[in-house]
Amino acid sequence: MACGPGTLLAVLSPRVRLTVGLDVTVAMLQQARARLSGTAARLVRGVAEHLPFADGSFSLVTCTSAIHHFGDASEVLGDMARVCAPGGRMVIADLVGAEDEAVRTRQNAIERTRDPAHVELRSPRGLLALLRGAGVEPRETAEGVEPRELDEWCRIANTPPDVARRVRETLLASQPGNLAGMSPVVVDGQVRFTHRWAVIVADRR
């Protein structure tokens, strides 16, 4: 779900009988199609809130780096659980924010300024709660930190230069006390910071 350019599908395809990728963006599906040429993978255009698959269609349902883009993540996870067969698994990987709500709110504000498509980073506990609410039971969780470079991060989102300057100023203003949980530093004139991530494996009851 939200397969993007098909990176994960390319990893999974040799290991399973059938892979199906879904994305709402034509450009992403075109990139995925090129990457998956010669495999048995199927690609479908659709929205994550209303997956065009029958109940219990898949033994494994995944979503990576996309939950923070959805306005109603509980609806998305609920439909993912619907198409996951009983006894199957769901795997969610996404960026996460701090458990402290004020810190997480500041980070979300910075993220939205950089990319208006950003909706909300959840905390690890928040993601776990959403999954349980969707009817799946988390069984394993891994967390980590990824170093990032501000200019490269803004280029990925095509952030306009004036907006990127505002992102820089806001991020650096959060330095005292690490108010946004992003640990910004300036190294040789470049702003660097960190993103936290979590991967959760859950069982479909």
Question: What CATH number does the domain containing 76 carry?
Answer: 3.40.50.150
Average pLDDT over residues 40-62: 94
Domain hosting residue 143, numbered range: 47-204
Structural domain tally of the chain? 1
Q: What are phi and psi of 35, to 5 degrees?
A: -65, -35
Q: Does the residue 40 lie in any domain?
A: no
Q: What is the DSSP string of the chain?
A: ---TTSHHHHHHGGGSS--EEEES-HHHHHHHHHHTTTS--EEEE--TTS-SS-TT-EEEEEEES-GGG-S-HHHHHHHHHHHEEEEEEEEEEEEE--SSHHHHHHHHHHHHHH-TT---PPPHHHHHHHHHHTTEEEEEEEEEEEEEEHHHHHHHTT--HHHHHHHHHHHHHTTTTTTTSS--EEETTEEEEEEEEEEEEEEE-
Q: Does the residue 42 lie in any domain?
A: no
Q: Does the residue 39 lie in any domain?
A: no
What is the predicted pLDDT for the residue at 1?
A: 83
Mean pLDDT value across the chain: 95
Summarised one tens digit per residue, pLDDT across range 86-101 is: 999 999 999 999 999 9
Summarised one tens digit per residue, pLDDT across range 158-190 is: 999 999 999 999 999 999 999 999 999 999 999
Q: Does the residue 163 lie in any domain?
A: yes
Summarised one tens digit per residue, pLDDT across range 113-138 is: 999 999 999 999 999 999 999 999 99
Q: In percent, how much of the chain has pLDDT > 90?
A: 89
Predicted TM-score (pTM) of this structure: 0.91
Evaluate whether 180 touches 148 at the Cβ level (below 8 Å): no
What is the predicted pLDDT for the residue at 40?
A: 84
- Residue 98 contacts by C-beta under 8 Å, 6 or more apart in sequence? 104, 107, 123, 181, 196
Q: Does the residue 104 lie in any domain?
A: yes
Q: Does the residue 31 lie in any domain?
A: no
Q: Does the residue 51 lie in any domain?
A: yes
Q: Does the residue 30 lie in any domain?
A: no
